[in-house]
A and B are shown apart, each in its own frame.
Chain A
Amino acid sequence: DIVMTQSPHSLALSLGERATINCKSSHSVIFGSNSYNYLAWYQQKPGQPPKLLLYWASTRESGVPDRFSGSGSGTDFTLTISSLQAEDVAVYYCQQYLLNPFTFGPGTKVEIK
């Protein structure tokens, strides 16, 4: 199984600051046939189901603000929120969907300082 890890576990930043969340997979999530990274990022606010933010590691879902961006390849990935807003308070998860089981990371909680 591919094990997903995330760091930090939580972070508290001031409004307008840059937030960086790291995700690491135990095996590469690049599919050889198309060279895509099978890696998604989700945002979950309290009392709500998760929401897809980014997929193929860096493709922003429709309607997601451009302050959210994704980077990385292979086994190391980053979600960046360029300027933290109050509505970004949430838990963020990465997930690999290359190999069964399609594992999630443990989540990173983002709060406002």
Chain B
Amino acid sequence: EVQLAESGGALAQPGGSLKLACAASGFTFSNYAMNWVRQVPGKGLEWVSAISGSGGRGEGPFYADSVKGRFTISRDNFKNTLYLQMNSLRAEDTAVYYCAQVKGQSGYSQLPIDRWGRGTLVTVSS
């Protein structure tokens, strides 16, 4: 069974940093592109970042304009874990962050998302 389990969400101060992790299991993690998607409670979905899988010919990573230069996506295919390093946090980064797997193991990011974690809450406030 595919499982995606996010961790690392916490209360952080404006200007601070957090690192989210997503432990993946039940599939060959390295083959799949992965995403981070966030959602302010009660609001819509915002795509944040994507990173290719091993067959993606090194495309990307990709970032939303709102996080470019502040957030870094990475993966450890030996640990089957996806990361999101978040620096220079702002109040508007407050959201539930979902780890999400694309459909299909080509490694490319240009695919729909068919697996989602339960999310981890990041709150940025002083």
Q: For window 12-38 of chain A, which residues contact chain B by CB distance below 8 Å?
A: 31, 38
Chain A's interface: helix, strand, loop or mixed, by majority?
Answer: loop
Q: For window 21-73 of chain B, which residues contact chain A by CB distance below 8 Å?
A: 35, 37, 44-47, 50, 60, 62-65
Asked whether any CB of chain A lies closer than 8 Å to the CB of B109, the reply is: yes
What distance in Å separates the Cβ of B87 from its nearest Cβ neighbour in chain A? Answer: 19
Residue in A closest to B119 when the chains form the complex, CB atoms: A49
Asked whether any CB of chain B lies closer than 8 Å to the CB of A72, the reply is: no
Residue in A closest to B50 when the chains form the complex, CB atoms: A102
User: B64, A40: Cβ atoms under 8 Å?
Assistant: no
| Residues of chain A contacted by B60 (CB below 8 angstroms) | 100
User: A104, B114: Cβ atoms under 8 Å?
Assistant: no
Asked whether any CB of chain A lies closer than 8 Å to the CB of B98, the reply is: yes
Asked whether any CB of chain B lies closer than 8 Å to the CB of A65, the reply is: no
- Bound-state CA distance A104–B100 (Å) is 14
Asked whether any CB of chain A lies closer than 8 Å to the CB of B117, the reply is: yes
User: B112, A40: Cβ atoms under 8 Å?
Assistant: yes
What distance in Å separates the Cβ of A40 from its nearest Cβ neighbour in chain B? Answer: 4
| Residues of chain B contacted by A61 (CB below 8 angstroms) | 114
Asked whether any CB of chain A lies closer than 8 Å to the CB of B79, the reply is: no
Residue in A closest to B67 when the chains form the complex, CB atoms: A101
What distance in Å separates the Cβ of A50 from its nearest Cβ neighbour in chain B? Answer: 6
| Residues of chain A contacted by B46 (CB below 8 angstroms) | 104
What distance in Å separates the Cβ of A60 from its nearest Cβ neighbour in chain B? Answer: 12
- Bound-state CA distance A31–B98 (Å) is 27
User: B113, A40: Cβ atoms under 8 Å?
Assistant: yes
| Residues of chain A contacted by B111 (CB below 8 angstroms) | 55, 97
Given the known interface contacts A52-B112, A55-B103, A61-B114, the answer about A104 and B44 at a Cβ–Cβ threshold of 8 Å is: yes
User: B47, A95: Cβ atoms under 8 Å?
Assistant: yes
For A35-69 the 0/1 string (1 means CB < 8 A from B) is: 00010101010000111100100000100000000
Residues on A lying within 8 angstroms of B by beta carbon are: 1, 31, 38, 40, 42, 44, 49-52, 55, 61, 91, 93, 95, 97-98, 100-107
